[in-house]
Structure 1
């Protein structure tokens, strides 16, 4: 939501007949590229991206809460009051975190698949109300999101968000059905990561460019920003699964490892210690193997290399903003600075 608002500010003030080449971005997609932050805003004053669009975010949050809680309550209270309560579970006042309907719906479904007990520091919906009601609540939120999308009467935007939903399902299916050999592939991991996380961010950023009437070239840069931002975010998230605490994350740590899900830190560690494969393959069946895996991870450069990969994608996201046409509009310039700051903030977050 935050970066979508900032992208909209930029796109709304970007000249439609001016765009530098994005060849620089396309030529730096190989994973071996040395990560550096390259942006023209690095010497400008610090801008807090949240305060910059704070008023808009507050308004959107209130409207989302109204749409989800009030409308669902009115539509379903007489028939299924439990469903109304479930669908509004994460939209209550004081519950921090993502407030986009598709995102919340995907997290609700994710908790069902992962048998998670907590989410954002409170009980997961599935643990509180059961899997069946949680799944139905997620479905209802998705339907509400597309009702809101349809009201925009913009077919390209609806198509983009439908694509993001398709990617999300594909990514979850990949995770559930991949063979062990496929799970040990970095290419498979990055594709799954794009599908499950970055697709929603990238398509959302592209959508706001379309909504502001921008040309395809600007929309493509918005997509590149969102894609690389989403990849960087998930890479750091996978690091925090090993280095964070349950209290700071708002969910259990080591969740992926205990569920047999192989992420970037382990993939890089396996390159240094091939014997890890045997322990990882049976980690979900033998909890004692978790300690062995963590010991090997600590001796490897897995965390460091994952951080470098996240930095690389954060750098590419910043470069996409730098590649937008020049502007002398103060608001657009500030928004660009804030978007670049988000790429740095994602790398340094601890929750």
Structure 2
């Protein structure tokens, strides 16, 4: 029976108001502890969890602008990075579907961090996320990873032998760690226990080799003097030898890949090589229009950084023989994690010290690159636009650009975008059965947002 004196519509509005206030309070209480990122009280929080879930499909890097439920398969992986949608910066953000063209680049007051990272993981307690050490879960598989790679790279030319092994064992081995964790998640989902197949471990080795080869070539392109706290190969041995060493590592990686013998895996990881190279070419250019410039930046970021993580996660899922929707979930986890990783790296280029990073900060600006904080700042200060197009080549451009970034909230908006991708990555993990490796992958997303180097 209807309540006397209250219309049906008024009653519904009252219920919605009560639900909105409850969700607002819960999100504000949980956001800081879950993501370790400060949340402004002015942020626009979505009124209910259904709306929240639907808005996740409005990610600035959603691949299909015409449907909220894009189904990614191996047949689409060559075309998806051409379907980024970058809306007009003055557009409203209250729509819930990518086809309505929401605006991820609006003012910070209309931005928000997503809710807790744990609510998307069924049957998983917050305490388990805190206690799970990602590297400890795969310690046995990671123990001899660098030595095994060095064995693959053995050559009877002493100087070349030293150069090919120069960087291995010095870095965090982040990419193989994520790859191995995803392998355990997929295998555990099929009740195969806490195991990693040899072929899956080989994919992790290939991931580290491809990444390292790209670093060697990047240092030549960028004329970098330092890498991982050491003098770069380019600085120490010169461009010619460095290029040859990078090519050698790349060739050995493809040989190891061929030994896996699975045509689908070979195709996936061959695409990574193509993406890395084309991403490097994209980094050498920019776009006049600011919306096209963001699209260009996001596509470049996917190709240079996210493609490797996404496709190696997908490869080990294929090897596990999990269902197609879980293969897609593994890919989407890696893609979102990779995008978040690069966005955080862009932030650190402005806020981290040289000692923490192991390389000079402001590196992107000095190389003429406009990363995410600069692109956000350029929306407010139009005088940055010609500087971006001339790649900060004139005297004082780098200093002025940095000052404008510090004057705006470009760094904060970049952090929020990174948090959004991390949240989406964690959401994909809910499709897998609970296990320690799944908790560890969730914690990787949280650690990533708070990293200092």
TM-score range, shorter chain: 0.7 to 0.9
CA deviation after TM superposition for structure 1 residue 29, in Å: 2.5
CA deviation after TM superposition for structure 1 residue 28, in Å: 3.8
Matches of residues 177-196 of structure 1 in structure 2 within 5 Å? 177-179=285-287, 181=289, 185-196=293-304
**1:73 has 2:155 as partner:** yes
Higher-helix-fraction structure: 1
Larger Rg: 2
Identify the residue that residue 301 of structure 1 maps to in structure 2.
409
Identify the residue that residue 278 of structure 2 maps to in structure 1.
170
Identify the residue that residue 263 of structure 1 maps to in structure 2.
371
Aligned partners of 2:286 and 2:389 also within 8 Å: no
Question: What is the rounded CA distance, in whole Å, between the counterparts of 1:145 and 1:26 in structure 2?
Answer: 36
Question: What is the rounded CA distance, in whole Å, between the counterparts of 1:135 and 1:240 in structure 2?
Answer: 28
How many residues are matched?
A: 313
**1:333 has 2:411 as partner:** no
Question: What is the rounded CA distance, in whole Å, between the counterparts of 1:283 and 1:261 in structure 2?
Answer: 6
Give per-residue Cα distances to partners, 1:166-218, cap 9 Å, x unaligned. 01111111112445557971111000000000000000000000111222211
Aligned partners of 2:305 and 2:339 also within 8 Å: yes
Aligned partners of 1:47 and 1:341 also within 8 Å: yes
**Structure 1: runs of 5 or more not aligned:** 1-22
Give per-residue Cα distances to partners, 1:264-307, cap 9 Å, x unaligned. 10111111111222344456422422222222111101001000
Question: What is the rounded CA distance, in whole Å, between the counterparts of 1:109 and 1:169 in structure 2?
Answer: 10
**Structure 2: runs of 5 or more not aligned:** 1-52, 61-102, 105-110, 174-204
Aligned partners of 1:49 and 1:338 also within 8 Å: yes
TM-score, length of structure 1 as denominator length: 0.83
Aligned partners of 1:183 and 1:262 also within 8 Å: no
Task: Select between 287-296 and 222-231 the one with higher mean Cα deviation.
Answer: 287-296
Question: What is the rounded CA distance, in whole Å, between the counterparts of 2:245 and 2:136 in structure 1?
Answer: 32
Identify the residue that residue 30 of structure 2 maps to in structure 1.
none
Aligned partners of 2:287 and 2:296 also within 8 Å: no
Aligned partners of 1:280 and 1:289 also within 8 Å: no
1:82 corresponds, among 159, 167, 170, to 159
SS of aligned partner of 2:167: helix
**1:29 has 2:111 as partner:** no
Give per-residue Cα distances to partners, 1:122-175, cap 9 Å, x unaligned. 011111111111111111111111111111111111111100110111111111
Aligned partners of 2:269 and 2:311 also within 8 Å: yes
Aligned partners of 1:112 and 1:134 also within 8 Å: yes
Question: What is the rounded CA distance, in whole Å, between the counterparts of 2:391 and 2:287 in structure 1?
Answer: 15
Identify the residue that residue 64 of structure 1 maps to in structure 2.
149
CA deviation after TM superposition for structure 1 residue 82, in Å: 2.9
Question: What is the rounded CA distance, in whole Å, between the counterparts of 1:216 and 1:26 in structure 2?
Answer: 21
Identify the residue that residue 125 of structure 1 maps to in structure 2.
233
Aligned partners of 2:340 and 2:419 also within 8 Å: yes
Identify the residue that residue 39 of structure 1 maps to in structure 2.
120
Give per-residue Cα distances to partners, 1:49-95, cap 9 Å, x unaligned. 11111111113233123222xxx224xx2xxx43222212112x5x2
SS of aligned partner of 1:73: coil
Aligned partners of 1:225 and 1:321 also within 8 Å: yes
Question: What is the rounded CA distance, in whole Å, between the counterparts of 1:318 and 1:217 in structure 2?
Answer: 16
Give per-residue Cα distances to partners, 1:11-52, cap 9 Å, x unaligned. xxxxxxxxxxxx969724246374323432352422011111
Identify the residue that residue 14 of structure 1 maps to in structure 2.
none
CA deviation after TM superposition for structure 1 residue 338, in Å: 0.6
SS of aligned partner of 1:89: coil
SS of aligned partner of 2:406: helix
Q: Which has the higher contact order (CA 8 A, sep 6+)?
A: 1
Identify the residue that residue 172 of structure 2 maps to in structure 1.
97
**1:311 has 2:430 as partner:** no
Aligned partners of 1:116 and 1:124 also within 8 Å: yes
Identify the residue that residue 215 of structure 1 maps to in structure 2.
323
Q: CA RMSD in A?
A: 2.1
SS of aligned partner of 1:39: coil
Aligned partners of 1:184 and 1:262 also within 8 Å: no
Identify the residue that residue 9 of structure 1 maps to in structure 2.
none
